[in-house]
Chain A
Protein backbone atom coordinates (compact mmCIF):
# COMPACT_ATOMS: atom_id res chain seq x y z
CA UNK A 1 0.00 0.00 0.00
CA UNK A 2 1.56 3.19 -1.12
CA UNK A 3 1.61 6.28 1.02
CA UNK A 4 -1.28 8.80 0.82
CA UNK A 5 -0.63 12.54 0.81
CA UNK A 6 -3.31 14.94 2.04
CA UNK A 7 -4.27 17.44 -0.65
CA UNK A 8 -7.59 18.91 0.49
CA UNK A 9 -8.89 19.11 4.06
CA UNK A 10 -12.50 18.20 4.89
CA UNK A 11 -13.24 21.91 5.11
CA UNK A 12 -11.87 22.52 1.61
CA UNK A 13 -13.69 19.51 0.17
CA UNK A 14 -16.96 20.80 1.66
CA UNK A 15 -16.30 24.21 0.11
CA UNK A 16 -15.99 22.50 -3.28
CA UNK A 17 -19.17 20.51 -2.62
CA UNK A 18 -21.21 23.59 -1.72
CA UNK A 19 -19.92 25.24 -4.86
CA UNK A 20 -20.66 22.48 -7.39
CA UNK A 21 -24.07 21.32 -6.10
CA UNK A 22 -25.59 24.83 -6.40
CA UNK A 23 -23.72 25.22 -9.71
CA UNK A 24 -25.50 22.20 -11.21
CA UNK A 25 -28.86 23.39 -9.86
CA UNK A 26 -28.24 26.90 -11.21
CA UNK A 27 -27.42 25.54 -14.65
CA UNK A 28 -30.50 23.34 -14.90
CA UNK A 29 -32.86 26.01 -13.61
CA UNK A 30 -31.25 28.90 -15.49
CA UNK A 31 -30.49 27.60 -18.97
CA UNK A 32 -34.13 26.79 -19.85
CA UNK A 33 -34.78 30.55 -19.51
CA UNK A 34 -31.67 31.49 -21.50
CA UNK A 35 -32.86 29.12 -24.24
CA UNK A 36 -36.67 29.35 -23.96
CA UNK A 37 -37.33 27.07 -26.92
CA UNK A 38 -35.02 24.20 -26.00
CA UNK A 39 -36.71 20.84 -25.53
CA UNK A 40 -34.28 19.99 -22.73
CA UNK A 41 -35.52 23.08 -20.90
CA UNK A 42 -39.13 22.04 -21.41
CA UNK A 43 -38.31 18.63 -19.97
CA UNK A 44 -36.59 20.16 -16.94
CA UNK A 45 -39.37 22.66 -16.28
CA UNK A 46 -42.03 19.97 -16.65
CA UNK A 47 -40.15 17.87 -14.11
CA UNK A 48 -39.65 20.56 -11.48
CA UNK A 49 -42.96 22.39 -11.83
CA UNK A 50 -42.47 25.25 -14.23
CA UNK A 51 -40.68 28.54 -14.39
CA UNK A 52 -42.04 29.89 -11.09
CA UNK A 53 -40.52 27.00 -9.14
CA UNK A 54 -37.34 27.23 -11.19
CA UNK A 55 -36.92 30.88 -10.26
CA UNK A 56 -37.29 30.18 -6.54
CA UNK A 57 -34.95 27.20 -6.68
CA UNK A 58 -32.45 29.23 -8.73
CA UNK A 59 -32.36 31.97 -6.12
CA UNK A 60 -32.10 29.51 -3.23
CA UNK A 61 -29.16 27.73 -4.89
CA UNK A 62 -27.59 31.10 -5.70
CA UNK A 63 -27.81 32.12 -2.05
CA UNK A 64 -26.00 28.93 -1.00
CA UNK A 65 -23.31 29.44 -3.61
CA UNK A 66 -22.75 33.06 -2.58
CA UNK A 67 -22.54 32.04 1.08
CA UNK A 68 -20.00 29.38 0.14
CA UNK A 69 -17.96 31.98 -1.73
CA UNK A 70 -18.13 34.43 1.17
CA UNK A 71 -17.06 31.63 3.51
CA UNK A 72 -14.13 30.83 1.25
CA UNK A 73 -12.95 34.45 1.13
CA UNK A 74 -13.25 34.64 4.93
CA UNK A 75 -11.35 31.34 5.21
CA UNK A 76 -8.47 32.65 3.11
CA UNK A 77 -8.48 35.96 4.97
CA UNK A 78 -8.40 34.10 8.31
CA UNK A 79 -5.43 32.04 7.17
CA UNK A 80 -3.55 35.14 6.11
CA UNK A 81 -4.46 37.50 8.94
CA UNK A 82 -4.86 35.23 11.96
CA UNK A 83 -2.81 32.15 11.08
CA UNK A 84 -0.16 34.41 9.51
CA UNK A 85 0.25 32.19 6.46
CA UNK A 86 3.31 33.43 4.55
CA UNK A 87 2.93 34.58 0.97
CA UNK A 88 5.01 31.60 -0.17
CA UNK A 89 2.30 29.31 1.21
CA UNK A 90 -0.42 30.89 -0.96
CA UNK A 91 0.15 28.32 -3.65
CA UNK A 92 -2.73 29.52 -5.83
CA UNK A 93 -1.16 32.91 -6.55
CA UNK A 94 0.05 33.02 -10.15
CA UNK A 95 3.79 33.48 -10.62
CA UNK A 96 6.66 33.48 -13.11
CA UNK A 97 6.88 29.69 -12.94
CA UNK A 98 3.36 29.41 -14.41
CA UNK A 99 4.40 31.23 -17.58
CA UNK A 100 7.47 28.99 -17.86
CA UNK A 101 5.30 25.91 -17.26
CA UNK A 102 2.89 26.92 -20.01
CA UNK A 103 5.74 27.24 -22.51
CA UNK A 104 7.29 23.98 -21.32
CA UNK A 105 3.96 22.18 -21.61
CA UNK A 106 3.30 23.57 -25.10
CA UNK A 107 6.71 22.33 -26.23
CA UNK A 108 5.90 18.95 -24.70
CA UNK A 109 2.48 18.84 -26.45
CA UNK A 110 4.08 19.65 -29.80
CA UNK A 111 6.69 16.88 -29.38
CA UNK A 112 9.41 19.54 -29.24
CA UNK A 113 10.62 18.17 -25.92
CA UNK A 114 9.94 15.12 -23.78
CA UNK A 115 10.21 17.00 -20.53
CA UNK A 116 6.93 17.75 -18.77
CA UNK A 117 6.72 20.78 -16.47
CA UNK A 118 7.19 19.80 -12.83
CA UNK A 119 4.16 21.25 -11.02
CA UNK A 120 4.07 22.32 -7.41
CA UNK A 121 0.85 22.08 -5.38
CA UNK A 122 -1.21 23.79 -8.11
CA UNK A 123 -0.50 23.70 -11.84
CA UNK A 124 -1.35 26.67 -14.01
CA UNK A 125 -4.37 24.61 -15.18
CA UNK A 126 -5.70 24.42 -11.63
CA UNK A 127 -4.91 28.05 -10.97
CA UNK A 128 -6.87 29.01 -14.06
CA UNK A 129 -9.85 27.03 -12.75
CA UNK A 130 -9.62 28.72 -9.38
CA UNK A 131 -9.35 32.30 -10.66
CA UNK A 132 -12.00 31.68 -13.33
CA UNK A 133 -14.43 30.81 -10.56
CA UNK A 134 -13.32 33.90 -8.64
CA UNK A 135 -14.03 36.16 -11.64
CA UNK A 136 -17.23 34.25 -12.44
CA UNK A 137 -18.52 34.64 -8.91
CA UNK A 138 -18.20 38.41 -9.08
CA UNK A 139 -19.91 38.62 -12.47
CA UNK A 140 -22.63 36.07 -11.83
CA UNK A 141 -23.47 36.96 -8.24
CA UNK A 142 -23.20 40.68 -8.91
CA UNK A 143 -25.44 40.65 -11.96
CA UNK A 144 -27.73 38.04 -10.40
CA UNK A 145 -28.39 40.16 -7.33
CA UNK A 146 -29.15 43.17 -9.55
CA UNK A 147 -31.63 41.09 -11.55
CA UNK A 148 -33.14 39.76 -8.32
CA UNK A 149 -33.91 43.32 -7.12
CA UNK A 150 -33.93 45.41 -10.32
CA UNK A 151 -36.25 48.14 -9.08
CA UNK A 152 -34.35 48.57 -5.82
CA UNK A 153 -31.04 48.82 -7.68
CA UNK A 154 -32.49 51.36 -10.09
CA UNK A 155 -32.69 53.79 -7.17
CA UNK A 156 -28.89 53.90 -7.00
CA UNK A 157 -27.69 53.03 -10.52
CA UNK A 158 -28.83 54.11 -14.00
CA UNK A 159 -31.19 51.83 -15.92
CA UNK A 160 -28.52 50.70 -18.35
CA UNK A 161 -26.78 48.86 -15.50
CA UNK A 162 -29.78 46.54 -15.20
CA UNK A 163 -29.62 45.89 -18.91
CA UNK A 164 -25.89 45.15 -18.66
CA UNK A 165 -26.54 42.85 -15.71
CA UNK A 166 -29.00 40.93 -17.89
CA UNK A 167 -26.45 40.58 -20.72
CA UNK A 168 -23.61 39.72 -18.35
CA UNK A 169 -25.60 37.12 -16.40
CA UNK A 170 -26.69 35.32 -19.53
CA UNK A 171 -23.32 35.45 -21.35
CA UNK A 172 -21.08 34.70 -18.39
CA UNK A 173 -23.35 31.75 -17.52
CA UNK A 174 -22.56 30.20 -20.87
CA UNK A 175 -18.83 30.80 -20.43
CA UNK A 176 -18.85 29.31 -16.92
CA UNK A 177 -20.87 26.31 -18.04
CA UNK A 178 -18.58 25.62 -21.01
CA UNK A 179 -15.45 26.12 -18.93
CA UNK A 180 -16.70 23.57 -16.41
CA UNK A 181 -18.01 20.85 -18.68
CA UNK A 182 -15.20 21.13 -21.22
CA UNK A 183 -12.10 22.42 -19.46
CA UNK A 184 -12.59 21.31 -15.88
CA UNK A 185 -14.15 17.95 -16.80
CA UNK A 186 -11.35 17.23 -19.27
CA UNK A 187 -8.68 17.96 -16.72
CA UNK A 188 -10.15 15.99 -13.82
CA UNK A 189 -12.10 13.33 -15.68
CA UNK A 190 -11.80 12.77 -19.43
CA UNK A 191 -8.07 13.36 -19.76
CA UNK A 192 -6.73 9.87 -20.59
CA UNK A 193 -3.95 10.37 -18.00
CA UNK A 194 -6.64 10.93 -15.35
CA UNK A 195 -9.42 8.65 -16.61
CA UNK A 196 -11.79 7.47 -15.19
CA UNK A 197 -11.71 10.26 -12.61
CA UNK A 198 -9.62 12.20 -10.18
CA UNK A 199 -11.06 11.12 -6.84
CA UNK A 200 -9.35 13.78 -4.76
CA UNK A 201 -12.53 15.88 -4.50
CA UNK A 202 -14.02 13.36 -2.05
CA UNK A 203 -10.99 11.33 -0.90
CA UNK A 204 -8.89 14.37 -0.18
CA UNK A 205 -5.64 12.43 -0.70
CA UNK A 206 -3.31 11.53 -3.54
CA UNK A 207 -1.17 8.40 -3.78
CA UNK A 208 2.61 8.50 -4.11
CA UNK A 209 2.32 7.73 -7.85
CA UNK A 210 -0.26 10.45 -8.40
CA UNK A 211 1.95 12.94 -6.55
CA UNK A 212 4.93 11.86 -8.60
CA UNK A 213 2.98 12.37 -11.78
CA UNK A 214 0.95 15.50 -11.09
CA UNK A 215 2.80 17.43 -8.38
CA UNK A 216 6.44 16.26 -8.45
CA UNK A 217 7.85 19.52 -7.12
CA UNK A 218 5.54 19.51 -4.14
CA UNK A 219 6.43 15.88 -3.42
CA UNK A 220 10.12 16.72 -3.60
CA UNK A 221 9.63 19.59 -1.14
CA UNK A 222 7.69 17.37 1.27
CA UNK A 223 10.43 14.70 1.18
CA UNK A 224 13.22 17.24 1.70
CA UNK A 225 11.43 18.72 4.67
CA UNK A 226 11.00 15.27 6.19
CA UNK A 227 14.73 14.62 5.72
CA UNK A 228 15.57 17.87 7.52
CA UNK A 229 13.26 17.02 10.41
CA UNK A 230 14.80 13.59 10.87
Chain B
Protein backbone atom coordinates (compact mmCIF):
# COMPACT_ATOMS: atom_id res chain seq x y z
CA UNK B 1 0.00 0.00 0.00
CA UNK B 2 2.72 2.44 1.01
CA UNK B 3 4.63 1.53 -2.13
CA UNK B 4 1.57 2.32 -4.18
CA UNK B 5 1.15 5.70 -2.52
CA UNK B 6 4.71 6.63 -3.23
CA UNK B 7 4.32 5.89 -6.93
CA UNK B 8 4.61 9.18 -8.70
CA UNK B 9 1.51 8.78 -10.81
CA UNK B 10 -0.61 7.91 -7.82
CA UNK B 11 0.79 10.77 -5.75
CA UNK B 12 -0.05 13.11 -8.56
CA UNK B 13 -3.63 11.84 -8.68
CA UNK B 14 -3.92 12.07 -4.92
CA UNK B 15 -2.70 15.64 -4.85
CA UNK B 16 -5.09 16.47 -7.65
CA UNK B 17 -7.98 15.12 -5.59
CA UNK B 18 -6.91 17.14 -2.56
CA UNK B 19 -6.53 20.23 -4.65
CA UNK B 20 -10.00 19.91 -6.09
CA UNK B 21 -11.46 19.13 -2.69
CA UNK B 22 -10.23 22.48 -1.36
CA UNK B 23 -12.80 25.25 -1.55
CA UNK B 24 -11.76 27.81 -4.15
CA UNK B 25 -12.09 30.60 -1.64
CA UNK B 26 -11.99 30.13 2.07
CA UNK B 27 -14.60 32.39 3.62
CA UNK B 28 -12.67 32.68 6.84
CA UNK B 29 -13.54 36.36 7.24
CA UNK B 30 -17.22 35.74 6.97
CA UNK B 31 -17.82 32.98 9.49
CA UNK B 32 -20.92 34.84 10.59
CA UNK B 33 -22.32 34.87 7.07
CA UNK B 34 -22.89 38.60 6.69
CA UNK B 35 -22.62 38.05 2.97
CA UNK B 36 -25.95 36.27 3.08
CA UNK B 37 -27.49 39.72 2.68
CA UNK B 38 -24.61 42.06 1.88
CA UNK B 39 -23.36 40.10 -1.10
CA UNK B 40 -26.66 40.74 -2.86
CA UNK B 41 -26.07 43.02 -5.78
CA UNK B 42 -27.92 46.33 -5.47
CA UNK B 43 -28.77 45.88 -1.80
CA UNK B 44 -29.80 49.40 -0.92
CA UNK B 45 -31.25 51.23 2.03
CA UNK B 46 -33.85 53.87 1.31
CA UNK B 47 -33.50 56.85 3.59
CA UNK B 48 -36.30 59.02 4.97
CA UNK B 49 -35.63 61.65 2.33
CA UNK B 50 -35.92 59.13 -0.46
CA UNK B 51 -32.18 58.83 -1.01
CA UNK B 52 -30.57 55.45 -1.55
CA UNK B 53 -27.49 54.09 0.09
CA UNK B 54 -25.60 51.20 -1.45
CA UNK B 55 -25.00 48.45 1.13
CA UNK B 56 -23.61 45.83 -1.20
CA UNK B 57 -20.23 44.40 -0.14
CA UNK B 58 -19.12 42.05 -2.85
CA UNK B 59 -17.55 38.96 -1.28
CA UNK B 60 -15.26 38.73 -4.22
CA UNK B 61 -13.86 42.22 -3.71
CA UNK B 62 -13.65 41.73 0.03
CA UNK B 63 -11.71 38.49 -0.35
CA UNK B 64 -9.11 40.40 -2.33
CA UNK B 65 -8.79 43.31 0.04
CA UNK B 66 -6.24 43.82 2.81
CA UNK B 67 -8.85 43.07 5.47
CA UNK B 68 -9.81 39.74 3.95
CA UNK B 69 -8.93 37.89 7.19
CA UNK B 70 -10.80 40.23 9.49
CA UNK B 71 -14.40 39.33 10.24
CA UNK B 72 -16.98 42.07 9.85
CA UNK B 73 -17.78 42.40 13.54
CA UNK B 74 -14.14 42.96 14.44
CA UNK B 75 -14.59 46.49 13.14
CA UNK B 76 -18.38 46.88 13.28
CA UNK B 77 -18.34 46.13 17.01
CA UNK B 78 -21.73 47.63 17.78
CA UNK B 79 -23.55 44.95 15.78
CA UNK B 80 -24.79 42.31 18.23
CA UNK B 81 -28.11 41.21 16.86
CA UNK B 82 -29.43 39.63 13.71
CA UNK B 83 -30.87 41.31 11.81
CA UNK B 84 -28.97 44.34 12.99
CA UNK B 85 -30.44 47.87 13.25
CA UNK B 86 -30.29 50.04 10.15
CA UNK B 87 -28.15 52.67 11.83
CA UNK B 88 -24.64 51.44 12.56
CA UNK B 89 -21.74 53.39 14.01
CA UNK B 90 -18.82 54.39 11.82
CA UNK B 91 -15.80 52.16 12.10
CA UNK B 92 -13.03 53.32 14.42
CA UNK B 93 -9.69 52.18 13.00
CA UNK B 94 -8.02 52.40 16.40
CA UNK B 95 -10.05 49.48 17.74
CA UNK B 96 -8.30 46.19 18.49
CA UNK B 97 -9.18 43.42 16.10
CA UNK B 98 -9.11 39.70 16.76
CA UNK B 99 -6.14 38.95 14.59
CA UNK B 100 -2.77 38.98 16.27
CA UNK B 101 0.28 40.94 15.31
CA UNK B 102 2.78 38.77 13.47
CA UNK B 103 5.50 37.50 15.87
CA UNK B 104 4.29 39.62 18.79
CA UNK B 105 1.07 37.68 19.54
CA UNK B 106 -0.58 40.84 20.83
CA UNK B 107 -3.82 42.23 19.55
CA UNK B 108 -3.50 44.07 16.26
CA UNK B 109 -4.91 47.53 15.87
CA UNK B 110 -4.27 50.79 14.09
CA UNK B 111 -4.14 52.75 17.32
CA UNK B 112 -0.55 53.99 16.82
CA UNK B 113 -1.32 55.31 13.36
CA UNK B 114 -4.58 56.75 14.56
CA UNK B 115 -2.93 58.64 17.41
CA UNK B 116 -0.17 59.98 15.15
CA UNK B 117 -2.77 61.10 12.65
CA UNK B 118 -4.79 62.86 15.33
CA UNK B 119 -1.90 65.18 16.27
CA UNK B 120 -0.64 65.61 12.68
CA UNK B 121 -1.50 68.41 10.27
CA UNK B 122 -4.31 66.16 9.03
CA UNK B 123 -5.78 65.68 12.50
CA UNK B 124 -8.78 67.61 13.72
CA UNK B 125 -7.57 70.82 15.30
CA UNK B 126 -9.70 72.59 17.95
CA UNK B 127 -8.65 76.00 16.65
CA UNK B 128 -10.41 75.29 13.33
CA UNK B 129 -14.14 75.34 12.74
CA UNK B 130 -16.11 72.08 12.62
CA UNK B 131 -16.63 72.54 8.92
CA UNK B 132 -12.93 72.95 8.35
CA UNK B 133 -12.11 69.92 10.49
CA UNK B 134 -14.67 67.86 8.63
CA UNK B 135 -12.85 68.51 5.36
CA UNK B 136 -9.62 66.96 6.68
CA UNK B 137 -8.80 63.45 5.54
CA UNK B 138 -9.55 60.61 7.97
CA UNK B 139 -8.08 57.07 7.79
CA UNK B 140 -10.48 55.86 5.16
CA UNK B 141 -9.98 58.88 2.96
CA UNK B 142 -6.48 57.77 2.04
CA UNK B 143 -6.77 54.04 2.73
CA UNK B 144 -9.49 53.27 0.27
CA UNK B 145 -9.73 49.81 -1.15
CA UNK B 146 -8.22 50.63 -4.50
CA UNK B 147 -5.16 52.00 -2.73
CA UNK B 148 -4.53 48.96 -0.55
CA UNK B 149 -5.76 45.99 -2.48
CA UNK B 150 -3.92 42.76 -3.07
CA UNK B 151 -3.22 43.44 -6.72
CA UNK B 152 -0.98 46.33 -5.65
CA UNK B 153 0.61 44.08 -3.07
CA UNK B 154 1.67 41.65 -5.78
CA UNK B 155 4.08 44.32 -6.97
CA UNK B 156 5.41 44.53 -3.44
CA UNK B 157 5.73 40.76 -3.34
CA UNK B 158 8.03 40.93 -6.35
CA UNK B 159 10.09 43.52 -4.49
CA UNK B 160 10.39 41.39 -1.37
CA UNK B 161 11.97 38.55 -3.37
CA UNK B 162 15.03 39.14 -1.25
CA UNK B 163 13.31 37.79 1.88
CA UNK B 164 11.78 34.94 -0.07
CA UNK B 165 15.18 33.46 -0.83
CA UNK B 166 15.40 32.18 2.73
CA UNK B 167 11.76 32.21 3.83
CA UNK B 168 10.23 30.00 1.20
CA UNK B 169 7.30 29.06 3.39
CA UNK B 170 4.18 30.52 1.84
CA UNK B 171 2.68 31.50 5.19
CA UNK B 172 5.70 33.50 6.16
CA UNK B 173 5.84 35.04 2.71
CA UNK B 174 2.32 36.23 3.37
CA UNK B 175 3.42 37.85 6.61
CA UNK B 176 6.33 39.52 4.88
CA UNK B 177 3.97 40.75 2.22
CA UNK B 178 1.70 42.18 4.86
CA UNK B 179 4.47 43.82 6.87
CA UNK B 180 6.31 45.08 3.83
CA UNK B 181 3.24 46.75 2.43
CA UNK B 182 3.09 48.82 5.60
CA UNK B 183 6.73 49.56 6.25
CA UNK B 184 7.85 51.44 3.22
CA UNK B 185 9.03 48.68 0.93
CA UNK B 186 8.94 50.44 -2.35
CA UNK B 187 7.38 49.83 -5.67
CA UNK B 188 7.09 52.36 -8.47
CA UNK B 189 3.36 52.01 -8.65
CA UNK B 190 2.95 52.57 -4.93
CA UNK B 191 4.97 55.82 -5.00
CA UNK B 192 3.06 57.08 -8.01
CA UNK B 193 -0.18 56.37 -6.16
CA UNK B 194 1.03 58.23 -3.08
CA UNK B 195 1.81 61.33 -5.14
CA UNK B 196 -1.50 61.05 -6.96
CA UNK B 197 -3.38 60.74 -3.69
CA UNK B 198 -1.70 63.69 -1.98
CA UNK B 199 -1.98 65.84 -5.12
CA UNK B 200 -5.68 65.12 -5.43
CA UNK B 201 -6.17 67.54 -2.51
CA UNK B 202 -2.96 69.57 -2.31
CA UNK B 203 -3.09 70.75 -5.92
CA UNK B 204 -6.83 71.45 -5.75
CA UNK B 205 -7.48 75.13 -5.11
CA UNK B 206 -11.09 74.64 -4.00
CA UNK B 207 -10.14 72.04 -1.41
CA UNK B 208 -7.20 74.00 -0.06
CA UNK B 209 -8.80 77.44 0.05
CA UNK B 210 -9.64 77.20 3.76
CA UNK B 211 -6.17 76.06 4.75
CA UNK B 212 -2.81 77.75 4.95
CA UNK B 213 -1.31 75.53 2.24
CA UNK B 214 1.00 76.53 -0.60
CA UNK B 215 -0.63 75.29 -3.79
CA UNK B 216 2.61 75.33 -5.77
CA UNK B 217 4.10 72.51 -3.70
CA UNK B 218 2.77 69.78 -5.98
CA UNK B 219 3.92 71.42 -9.21
CA UNK B 220 7.18 72.21 -7.43
CA UNK B 221 7.65 68.53 -6.65
CA UNK B 222 6.78 67.56 -10.21
CA UNK B 223 9.32 70.01 -11.64
CA UNK B 224 12.04 68.78 -9.38
CA UNK B 225 14.16 65.69 -9.93
CA UNK B 226 12.26 63.39 -7.52
CA UNK B 227 8.98 64.10 -9.27
CA UNK B 228 10.34 63.84 -12.79
CA UNK B 229 12.27 60.64 -12.12
CA UNK B 230 9.25 59.05 -10.47
CA UNK B 231 7.20 59.73 -13.59
CA UNK B 232 9.92 57.94 -15.54
CA UNK B 233 9.65 54.90 -13.29
CA UNK B 234 12.62 55.44 -10.96
CA UNK B 235 11.16 53.85 -7.86
CA UNK B 236 13.78 54.76 -5.25
CA UNK B 237 13.23 58.52 -5.34
CA UNK B 238 11.39 60.22 -2.51
CA UNK B 239 7.61 60.46 -2.70
CA UNK B 240 5.57 62.82 -0.48
CA UNK B 241 5.47 60.43 2.49
CA UNK B 242 9.20 59.74 2.54
CA UNK B 243 9.94 63.25 3.75
CA UNK B 244 6.63 64.37 5.26
CA UNK B 245 5.87 60.99 6.90
CA UNK B 246 2.66 59.06 6.41
CA UNK B 247 0.66 59.60 9.59
CA UNK B 248 2.66 62.04 11.69
CA UNK B 249 3.02 64.72 9.03
CA UNK B 250 3.53 68.04 10.77
CA UNK B 251 4.00 71.57 9.49
CA UNK B 252 7.62 72.70 9.04
CA UNK B 253 7.46 75.09 12.00
CA UNK B 254 6.59 72.29 14.47
CA UNK B 255 9.81 71.19 16.24
CA UNK B 256 8.68 67.54 15.98
CA UNK B 257 8.18 67.78 12.23
CA UNK B 258 10.33 65.66 9.92
CA UNK B 259 10.81 68.77 7.79
CA UNK B 260 11.60 71.19 10.63
CA UNK B 261 14.98 72.86 9.88
CA UNK B 262 16.50 70.99 12.83
CA UNK B 263 15.30 67.59 11.60
CA UNK B 264 15.37 67.84 7.83
CA UNK B 265 19.00 66.78 7.53
CA UNK B 266 18.12 63.56 9.35
CA UNK B 267 15.09 63.04 7.13
CA UNK B 268 17.06 63.38 3.88
CA UNK B 269 19.83 61.10 5.11
CA UNK B 270 17.62 58.50 6.80
CA UNK B 271 17.97 55.89 4.08
CA UNK B 272 21.17 54.58 2.55
CA UNK B 273 19.71 54.88 -0.94
CA UNK B 274 18.77 58.51 -0.28
CA UNK B 275 21.28 61.24 0.54
CA UNK B 276 22.95 59.32 3.33
CA UNK B 277 25.74 61.87 3.76
CA UNK B 278 23.58 64.96 3.26
CA UNK B 279 25.00 68.15 4.73
CA UNK B 280 23.01 70.87 6.45
CA UNK B 281 23.61 73.22 3.49
CA UNK B 282 22.36 70.56 1.08
CA UNK B 283 19.11 70.06 2.93
CA UNK B 284 18.61 73.79 3.47
CA UNK B 285 17.91 74.27 -0.28
CA UNK B 286 14.22 74.96 -0.83
CA UNK B 287 13.22 71.76 -2.49
CA UNK B 288 9.86 72.27 -4.07
CA UNK B 289 8.38 75.66 -3.53
CA UNK B 290 8.20 77.78 -6.66
CA UNK B 291 10.91 80.48 -6.49
CA UNK B 292 9.47 83.98 -6.04
CA UNK B 293 11.27 87.33 -5.74
CA UNK B 294 10.65 87.28 -1.98
CA UNK B 295 11.26 83.66 -0.92
CA UNK B 296 14.12 82.82 -3.26
CA UNK B 297 15.26 85.85 -5.31
CA UNK B 298 18.45 84.27 -6.71
CA UNK B 299 16.72 81.22 -8.15
CA UNK B 300 13.81 83.36 -9.35
CA UNK B 301 15.99 85.78 -11.33
CA UNK B 302 18.28 83.04 -12.66
CA UNK B 303 15.24 81.25 -14.01
CA UNK B 304 13.90 84.44 -15.64
CA UNK B 305 17.35 85.26 -16.94
CA UNK B 306 17.46 81.95 -18.78
CA UNK B 307 13.94 82.35 -20.14
CA UNK B 308 14.82 85.80 -21.53
CA UNK B 309 18.19 84.61 -22.83
CA UNK B 310 16.61 81.67 -24.64
CA UNK B 311 13.71 83.68 -26.03
CA UNK B 312 15.95 86.58 -27.07
CA UNK B 313 18.61 84.40 -28.69
CA UNK B 314 16.12 82.26 -30.55
CA UNK B 315 14.20 85.32 -31.75
CA UNK B 316 17.39 86.78 -33.20
CA UNK B 317 18.46 83.52 -34.79
CA UNK B 318 15.01 82.94 -36.28
CA UNK B 319 14.92 86.46 -37.66
CA UNK B 320 18.33 85.91 -39.28
CA UNK B 321 17.21 82.60 -40.79
CA UNK B 322 13.96 84.02 -42.17
CA UNK B 323 15.65 87.09 -43.65
CA UNK B 324 18.35 84.92 -45.21
CA UNK B 325 15.77 82.53 -46.62
CA UNK B 326 13.62 85.45 -47.79
CA UNK B 327 16.50 86.91 -49.81
CA UNK B 328 17.15 83.55 -51.42
CA UNK B 329 13.49 83.11 -52.34
CA UNK B 330 13.40 86.68 -53.70
CA UNK B 331 16.51 86.08 -55.82
CA UNK B 332 15.12 82.80 -57.14
CA UNK B 333 11.84 84.50 -58.04
CA UNK B 334 13.58 87.35 -59.87
CA UNK B 335 15.85 84.96 -61.77
CA UNK B 336 12.77 83.08 -62.94
CA UNK B 337 11.04 86.26 -64.07
CA UNK B 338 14.05 87.28 -66.13
CA UNK B 339 14.11 83.97 -67.99
Contact = CB atoms under 8 A, between A and B. Distances in A.
A binds B: yes
Interface of A: 32-34, 36-37, 41, 45, 50-52, 106, 108-111, 125, 150-151, 154-155, 157-160, 162-164, 166-168, 171-172, 174-175, 178-179, 182-183, 186, 191-193
A37, A163, A193 — which one has the most chain B CB atoms within 10 A of its CB?
A: A163
B216 interface: no
Contacts of B282: 150-151, 154, 159, 162
Given A50-B233, A155-B281, A182 B318 contact: yes
Given A154-B279, A154-B282, A109 B324 contact: yes
Given A32-B232, A154-B281, A160-B296, 6 more contacts: A45-B232, A45-B233, A109-B323, A168-B306, A178-B314, A193-B328
Nearest to A106: B323
Contacts of B321: 182-183, 186
Given A36-B232, A37-B231, A151 B285 contact: no
A192 B317 CA distance: 17
Contact of B306 (A175, A179, A182): A175
B317 A160 contact: no
A174 to B, nearest CB: 6
B313 interface: yes
Nearest to A102: B320
Contacts of B306: 167-168, 171-172, 175
7 contacts: A33-B229, A36-B228, A50-B233, A154-B279, A163-B285, A179-B317, A191-B324
A149 B309 CA distance: 27
A163 B220 CA distance: 12
A49 to B, nearest CB: 11
B303 interface: yes
Contact of A111 (B277, B284, B318, B327): B327
Contacts of B309: 175
A37 B324 CA distance: 36
Q: Is the interface of A mostly helix, strand, loop or mixed?
A: helix
Contacts of B317: 179, 182-183
B324 A167 contact: no
B225 interface: yes
B12 interface: no
B310 A174 contact: yes
A175 B313 contact: yes
Contacts of A154: 278-279, 281-282, 285
B234 interface: yes
Contacts of B283: 159
B327 A109 contact: yes
A8 B166 CA distance: 64
Contacts of A151: 275, 277-279, 282
B5 to A, nearest CB: 51
B231, B281, B323 — which one has the most chain A CB atoms within 10 A of its CB?
A: B281
Contacts of A162: 282, 285
A108 B309 CA distance: 27
Contacts of B227: 36
Contacts of A155: 279, 281
A159 B285 contact: yes
Contact of A51 (B232, B291, B302): B232
Contact of A33 (B228, B296, B298, B327): B228
Contacts of A110: 323, 327
Contacts of B228: 33-34, 36
Contacts of B302: 164, 167-168
A37 B192 CA distance: 13
A45 B188 CA distance: 16
Contacts of B231: 36-37
B326 A109 contact: yes
B285, B286, B299, B309 — which one has the most chain A CB atoms within 10 A of its CB?
A: B285
B45 interface: no
Interface string B294-315: 0010110011001101100110
A158 B233 contact: no
B40 to A, nearest CB: 43
B222, B234, B283 — which one has the most chain A CB atoms within 10 A of its CB?
A: B234
Interface string B215-250: 000000010110111011110000000000000000
A183 B330 CA distance: 21
Contacts of A191: 324-325, 328
A151, A182, A186 — which one has the most chain B CB atoms within 10 A of its CB?
A: A151
Contact of A179 (B277, B303, B313): B313
Nearest to A110: B323
A158 B310 contact: no
Contacts of A166: 224-225
A175 B323 CA distance: 21
